[in-house]
Amino acid sequence: MDDVDRAALLALRARFEALGADDPDGRALSEATEGIPQLARYLALRSVWPELIDTRPESLEAIPAANRLLSNGANRDDLVRLARVSAYEAVFGLLYRLTAQGRDVEAPDDSPGWRLMETTATGELTGRALQSLHEDLLGMDPAGGLLE
**pLDDT (tens digit per residue) in 66-92:** 999 999 999 999 999 999 999 999 999
Q: Structural domain of residue 126, as residue ranges?
A: 36-140
Residue 146, domain member (yes or no):
no
**Do 85 and 43 lie in a common domain?**
yes
Per-residue pLDDT tens for 27-72?
999 999 999 999 999 999 999 999 999 878 888 888 899 999 999 9
**Do 81 and 18 lie in a common domain?**
no
**Do 43 and 102 lie in a common domain?**
yes
The Cβ-side half-sphere exposure at 102, using a 13 Å CA radius, reads 11
**Do 103 and 132 lie in a common domain?**
yes
**Do 84 and 107 lie in a common domain?**
yes
State the total domains in the chain: 2
Task: Map residue 38 onto helix, strand or coil.
Answer: helix
Rounded Cα distance between 42 and 44, Å, is 5
